[in-house]
Chains A and B, each alone.
Chain A
Amino acid sequence: MFLQQLVNGLIIGGIYAMIAVGYTMIYGVVQLINFAHGEIYMLGAFFAVTFISFLGLPFYVAFLLAMICCAICGMLLDVVAYRPLRNSPRLAALITAIGMSIFLQNLAMIIWGSRPKPFPHGAVPAYFEKTAVTFGGVNLSWFHLFIFGLTMAMMIGLNLIIKKTRWGKAMRAVAQNKTMAALAGINVNRVITYTFALAGALGGMAGILVSAYYNSLYPTMGYVAGVKAFAAAVLGGIGSVPGAMLGGVVLGVAEALGAGYLSSLYRDGISYAVMIIVIIFIPAGLFGKLIKETKKSM
């Protein structure tokens, strides 16, 4: 029983981590809490389902296409909403972020309806349901392994991108100091937009996985998932990518165990409580640096 809860927690935690790195990367480069990130996650699920049920595409193709669409959405979000406010006070950008979040959520409600939908029947490859591994009385399906594999690939890949590539180097430079990065010949706006694209793709991936795993998707799903992932990012120390990954996994496990052993009614409350406690007592998180307001902000 304990092991089963632990496995569930690890799987969900991996998905939280995928969303949380999006928050943390965006915070790193523009010092903005992108409230609309949860909505990109929701859009990912809806794009995938639309591709599968209307265009009849196979699961993996729809998966990739939906991720690309989410990346484009992320870029659009940055270019349309956030770029004009780059030097405005934080308050303005935050309010825009909330406005965009509510806007996208209701747009999805108009396009796809507000009722929860099931993931299209038979869209997920059949062998996903089959048991792949059994240990200690816990059955792991191929789908579990698929999610787990993607999470690991995401973590390793992201670390490689940030540490090894030119683009990752540019991202780190922009995160440290935009003016100096621009002086060094980095196109700051382009780096920021690409970061939004990468975050969007990962968020979309998480959305597809969750909707297929729980077999349901609805326009407000991004709201709770977004807050939980943000809690994960805060727990890990906002701005730190490995921190967000660890935070996501820790939060997923804490939630699964808390719901299993303490009170399932307060399942969602656990992440809010963790977030508030972390913010009050260790605002820098597990890995982060304490944020100082670099420019005058409202």
Chain B
Amino acid sequence: MGKLNPQNLSRGDKIRIGLLILVLILPFFPFISDYMLHIIILIFLYMILALGLNIVPGFNGLLDLGYVGFYGIGAYTSGLLTFHFGLSYWVIIPLAFMNGAIWGILLGAPTLRLTGDYFAIVTFGFSELVVLFLTNEIWLTRGPLGLPGIAPPSIDLSLFGGPKWEFVGELPYYYLAIVMVLITVFVMHRIQDSRLGRAWFAIRDDETAAVSCGINLLNYKVIAFAISAAFGAVGGSFFARWVTFLSPDMFKFWESFLVLCMIVLGGMGNIWGVMIGAVVLVSLSEVLRELLPLLGLPVNVRFLAFGLIMVLMMRFRPAGLMPIPAVAAKMKAGQVKRKRGPATAELKTGLKK
């Protein structure tokens, strides 16, 4: 990494470092209220979720409609372990990661050998079952009453004779979220450029060609699904310790839809695009949440806008605002052309000769 010399940095790197510094000092600007800080943390949380989900539709080209199931599993793993055993959050993160991955493997291994449509619908059914389980197994989750009073995380150095910091207010969560986003982005970048990532892209671009290169489709897809599920669960574990209250209603299909919409908007497979999608949609969602009651409409109507965004994006910019060339080429290839394309014109002139 020895290129921190300012002369060696490309323009993109400079922008990124600038952004990072801006984000780090952002809470100290006077105009940032606690509410705004809360929204920014929400944006970071959705960035983690969107980056995690991105692996499945973006890197592998499969539709996952049940992402919120893993998010819920992670949240309840974190909530219940804190509630019953008082485990430290730093222990819970790897546990939630593993629990998410296990469920990803359990669900993915039998279903990923099927075609994409079936996979989409199975993941959807799975997330609905998770919500039903959380609602009905009252002995474990307290059901619709919700799980209140989850202790906030703390940094405990008393073992080494140090002090113990409890997380109070939004500020510590803000920095924790930044660290988690940075780790997620770093992992995604490394995966993208690894053997694993290249195998995924091969699968996304052409399954038949990938198989003939000796890529084991099922293995790679299950790994992708498990990693994606694990990041969803980590996002959920953060969510549980942050809002300190969980109820099954928080994990309905809407959440999956919102995260999917971020990916579609930002650009499937593009790490930066997906993060920008999260920024845009969480902000839009919050603005609409304020505006809609003024118009006398229920808050959930904001999903009208998200539905419309999805349809319009698929129609006009199917690869997203920041498209990846491979995805863009694939999505464009099939579009029905209204105008007479250059190909037909060429054919005509060819026939005249």
Which residues of A does B touch, CB under 8 Å? 31, 33, 81, 83-96, 98-107, 109-110, 114, 223, 227, 230-231, 234, 263, 265-266, 268-269, 272-273, 275-276, 279-280, 283, 291-293, 296-298
Number of A-B contacts (CB under 8 A): 158
B129 A87 Cβ-Cβ under 8 A? no
Q: Mark B58-90, 1 if CB is under 8 A from A, else 0.
A: 000111010000000000000000000000000
Q: How long is the Cα–Cα vector from A89 to B308 in the complex, in angstroms? A: 19
A268 B63 Cβ-Cβ under 8 A? no
Q: Which of B114, B135, B307 contacts A99 (CB 8 A)?
A: B307
Q: Closest Cβ of chain A: how far from B332's Cβ, in Å?
A: 9
- Answer yes or no: B341 CB below 8 A from chain A CBs: no
A283 B132 Cβ-Cβ under 8 A? no
Contacts of A95 in B (CB 8 A): 63, 260, 264, 310, 314
Known: A280-B110, A280-B111. A272 touches B125 (CB 8 A): yes
- Of the listed stretches B148-156, B172-180, B211-219, B296-304, name the one at the interface; the rest are far from the partner chain: B296-304
Q: Which of A33, A83, A104, A109 contacts B301 (CB 8 A)?
A: A109
Interface of chain A, helix or strand or loop or mixed?
helix
Closest Cβ neighbor of B298 among chain A residues: A114
A99 B310 Cβ-Cβ under 8 A? yes
8 Å CB interface, B122-148 against A: 122, 124-126, 128-129, 132, 135-136
| Interface bracket on B | 35 or more
Q: Which of A92, A102, A283, A293 contacts B307 (CB 8 A)?
A: A102
B115 A293 Cβ-Cβ under 8 A? yes
Q: Closest Cβ of chain A: how far from B182's Cβ, in Å?
A: 29
B63 A266 Cβ-Cβ under 8 A? no
Q: Closest Cβ of chain B: how far from A224's Cβ, in Å?
A: 9
A106 B330 Cβ-Cβ under 8 A? no
Q: Closest Cβ of chain A: how far from B108's Cβ, in Å?
A: 11
Closest Cβ neighbor of A113 among chain B residues: B298
B257 A92 Cβ-Cβ under 8 A? no
A-B contact pairs, 21 of them (CB 8 A): A33-B117, A33-B121, A83-B336, A84-B315, A87-B334, A87-B335, A89-B330, A91-B62, A94-B120, A99-B307, A99-B308, A100-B307, A102-B257, A102-B303, A103-B304, A106-B307, A110-B304, A114-B300, A291-B115, A292-B115, A298-B330
